[in-house]
Every structure is written in structure tokens, then in C-alpha cells.
Structure 1
Amino acid sequence: MADHGGGADLCSVSVVSCLLLACGYVGSLDHPTVIKRRFTSVLIVSALSPLWVWVWRQYTGFKTGPSLLTLLGIHLEGILAAACFPLLLTMVLFVGPLIQLVMDYSWDLFDGLKMFLDPRCWAQCLADMRWMRNQVVAPLTEELVFRACMLPMLVPCTGLSRAIVTCPLFFGVAHFHHVIELLKFRQGTVVGIFLSAVFQFSYTAVFGAYTAFIFIRTGHLIGPVLCHSFCNYMGFPAIGAVIEHPQKLMIFFFYVLGVVLFLLLLFPLTDPTLYGTLAICHLTKPETSTSVCT
């Protein structure tokens, strides 16, 4: 990587750029009467965010190297592996909840496949604004803005490993405006609102670090998007329900098995050699890229 001038100035520009993107994106998507309106504003911000990265490249001097789209993880090289392996890895982590879901519903495999292939089912989903928000709009736009656009701006300043941890903080901090709204309208006790905010921040930070890791290791946007959509569908594991389940020992076994297999497969299934050249590694010095790019 060429010398691009003062590190302090680069870091200031990168951090401010990420904060502006975060504040421009995050808003309430919760109430059904405003979902369509929020779709429009979020899609506009998301569409403009790559332009923001382009401006950042012009200002900081990172004009050479991979194209902007490649840097954002939008390219065809290794795309099949990028679409399958990270999603498979995430499903492995959710083996316990998936087994629990199968046991708690009376559908057999044939009925499930029949419903999955039924066009009427998909048409109903596409007409549901909440489903569109949780499974399509939020995963696509959040990963584009908070991973594909922010990580390239953070990596030259923080390095690859620190960027994985730093990037999710912008998403978590930006969501604290919900705390102000809840306090303003007195929707719960102060302690309850605070604990909810801490849990939400922790969960989004851990999940954001995971998808940032996938983005950097694969160099693709599609993997984080599909993993995000899957996790939105599954929700946070219902640990309390496991304790009260009649088959709790078996389900608990699969919970543990899923975590163990996930840790064993984390690096093999995100091996950069499966996905081609990692464009984001061009933004950092070789000696600081550690094992993320190798």
C-alpha cells in the first residue's frame, strides 16, 4: 500500500464518514404505517452510500487498486462459494434451534418443501411489509452500508482485525436513539429500557463482528446478506423454552454440537482461497493483514 499521508487525518475522515453513514441510515422501521416510507429513505441512503465511499477514496488518495464495486464485495469471482459456505456455517451454529423448530412443528419434510415451492406462499411473503423488512430490505441495506461501505474506510486506519471489532460499534451506537424514544414516551421503566438497550447493543455488536469477519474473509457482500436474513428469520435462540422442553437433553446436545461444529468450521469455510482475490486487503499493509487475508 502506498503512503497516503497523515494517519491521524485519515482516521478522522474515516470515523466521521462512518458516523455520518450510520446516522443517515438508522431510523425506526418498527411501526407498520411507516415501513413503506422508511423503505424509501433507507433505500436512498443505501444507494448513495457507495458514492460516499468513492468520495472518501478521492479525498484520501486510495484511487488505485480494485474497482469500487469489487471493493464493496459486488463481483462474480467466487460468488457461488460466497453464497453457500457462510450461510451453511451460520446454519450449523443454529443446529440446536433448527432441531427445536422441527420438533415443535407437525410439518413433515414433504409438507415443508411443498410450501417452500408454492408461488402463493412467496407472493404472500412479498406482500408482507414486515417480512420484506426483516428478510430483504434490512439485511441487504444494513450489510451494504455497515459492512461493505464502512469496512473499506476503516481498514486503512485500524487494520483488518480491529476493523472487524470497530465496524459493528457504529451500528450499535446508532441504535441508541431508540432508548431516547422509549424514555420520551415512557414505554417501560428506566432500568428495563437500559437493560434492553445494553442487550440490543451487545447482540448487534457480536453479530456485526461476525458478518464483518465474513465480508473480509470472503470479499463478498452476498454472504453477510444471506446470513443476516437467516438470523432475522430464526431470531435469538429461545434458551428458556429449551429448559422447559420435554426433549431438553437432546435439544441441548444439538445446541452444544452446533457451537462446537461452528468453531471448528469457522476458518475452513471462510478460507480466502475459496473466494479469489480479496480486494479489501489492498487497503492495508501486508505486515498488518495478519491471517485474515491468508
Structure 2
Amino acid sequence: MTEEKGIVREQIEGVPEGLCWLSVLSCLLLACCYVGSLYVWRSDLPRDHPAVIKRRFTSVLIVSGLSPLFVWAWREFTAVRTLSPLLALLGIRLEGFISAIVLPLLLTMVLFLGPLIQLSMDCPWSFIDGIRVVLAHFHHVIELLRFRQGTLSGIFLSAVFQFTYTALFGAYTAFIFIRTGHLMGPVLCHSFCNYMGFPAISTALEHPQRPIILSSYLLGVTLFFLLLFPLTDPSYYGVPTPVCTLTSSPSSLCFS
């Protein structure tokens, strides 16, 4: 092992050819299993029905529980050996835990500075009584078509928009996981974004305090990009991150 910028780097020998493509396909398979598990239950009820929600919770719990075994099997099959234990590769570790709880969530709240200020103005009595909108996913098209909730073109355009939004959000949370090596940060950011929903930009444009709201939107986005790398600096979070430990020549991106 060598040390650079105060961070221990782990070297991997004998990485199989085609590992990158195999890794991508494995991630895709795991994601498909997760989404597919939501539809193994046959029911005529809408997805928001309590009975359907309980069944989907069961499916997600099973898939999430089997995911570590999937990662372990992938590591054994590819013959990749790392100095970090399996739980650390999954982002479950104590080093830098407090930072992983606070900094990524703070960064995400900075991005939502405009919506937060708008929410505080419109719902001053209680933050909990504010907007409760859950992220929508592309596979919800099945439910919308099944129960005839809108026209085909309208549903498709809405799904494309939601898919783009959630894809960008997924890339962001993956970035946090790679930079911090912790699972808790992405989980908290996901929960926060689920609570906030997509920013109500059209409402902000018509808001009585529009200059203040729009300025806060701009300020939040600007600060987000300025703080994106500083607040996710791996030196705040302890040992190297999972992706970096699987490369024979760690990328400078992981340690910048």
C-alpha cells in the first residue's frame, strides 16, 4: 500500500480483461431485479393501495437483503481481491461516518436553497406540513396506462421528464457514494429529495416574492457547483472509496 495526500491507496493485481463491461452489466442486472421485484405480485389494485405497498416493501426488502450476496458473488467470480472488507465496499463503515451524514445532506440542501426558501414563505407554520412529493420513475408508466390516468402522449412526456430527472439524481448519488465511500450520504440525500420533489419553478416565476425566490434559486445552484468537490473530498471520509480500490491505477478524480 502507498499513501498520497494522507489517503491510503490500495493496489489490485491481476484485474481480468473486460471487467468494466462485466461490472456495468452486473449493476444493470441488479437494478432490473430491484425494479422487477415491484411487479412480481399480481394485483388489480393501484400501486398506492396499502396492500400493494406492503407487498412491494417485502420485495424491496428481499432484493436489498440479497444485494450484498450478489456483490460477494461478483467479487468471487471476477477474482478481484481488495484489502477492504465486503461491508466497506458496500459503504457500511465507521470511518468518517459523521461527515458522511452531515456534508452530503448539507450539499443537497444548498442545491435546494430556492425551493426551501419558497417553502418557508408559503408554509411558515410548519416545515413538516410542506410539500410531500415522491420521486416518480419511468416504470410508473405501466400504472398510469393501466388505470387510464391521462393520455398516452401526456403520460409518455411526463415519464421521459421524470426519468431524466431521476437519472440525473441517480448519477449525483452515485457520485456521492464514489467520493465518500459511505452509503448513508446517498440514503439521506435520496430521502430529502423524495420529500422535496422537483422544484416548483413555474410557481416560483409567479410568486409575489419572485425576485427573492429566483435569486435564492440561482444562489443555491451556484453554491452547489462551487461546493460539490470540496464537500465531497475523500479526505473527510476516511479510507479510499469502493470504486478507487478496484482500479489498478487509482484515478486522480477520486483523490482530487
The TM-score by the shorter chain falls in which range? 0.7 to 0.9
C-alpha displacement of 1:181: 4.4
C-alpha displacement of 1:185: 4.6
Identity of aligned residues (%): 66
* Counterpart AA for 1:104: D
Question: SS where residue 57 of structure 2 aligns?
Answer: helix
C-alpha displacement of 1:55: 0.2
Cα distance per residue 1:11-49 (max 9 Å; x no partner)? 453233223212221126543331111111111110110
- Greater shift in the superposed pair: 21-30 or 199-208: 21-30
Q: Is the 8 A contact 2:141 2:159 kept in 1?
A: yes
Unaligned stretches of 5+ residues in structure 1: 122-130, 139-171
Equivalent runs, 1:76-91 vs 2, <5 Å: 76-91=94-109
* Counterpart AA for 1:194: F
1:179 corresponds in structure 2 to 141
2:213 corresponds in structure 1 to 251
1:50 corresponds in structure 2 to 68
Equivalent runs, 1:30-109 vs 2, <5 Å: 30-107=48-125
Residue among 198, 220, 227 paired with 2:189:
227
Q: Is the 8 A contact 1:216 1:278 kept in 2?
A: no
In structure 2, relative to structure 1, the CA distance for the partners of 1:25 and 1:204 (3 Å cut) is same
Unaligned stretches of 5+ residues in structure 2: 1-11, 40-46
Which structure has more helix as a fraction of its residues? 1
In structure 2, relative to structure 1, the CA distance for the partners of 1:279 and 1:106 (3 Å cut) is closer
Question: SS where residue 255 of structure 2 aligns?
Answer: coil
Cα distance per residue 1:210-252 (max 9 Å; x no partner)? 1111111111011111111111111111011111111111111
In structure 2, relative to structure 1, the CA distance for the partners of 1:54 and 1:265 (3 Å cut) is same
Cα distance per residue 1:147-180 (max 9 Å; x no partner)? xxxxxxxxxxxxxxxxxxxxxxxxx9xx544334
1:15 corresponds in structure 2 to 24
C-alpha displacement of 1:5: 2.4
**TM-score, normalised with respect to structure 1:** 0.73
How many corresponding residue pairs?
Answer: 233
Q: Is the 8 A contact 2:82 2:246 kept in 1?
A: no
2:248 corresponds in structure 1 to 285
Residue among 140, 145, 151 paired with 1:189:
151
Q: Is the 8 A contact 1:92 1:262 kept in 2?
A: yes
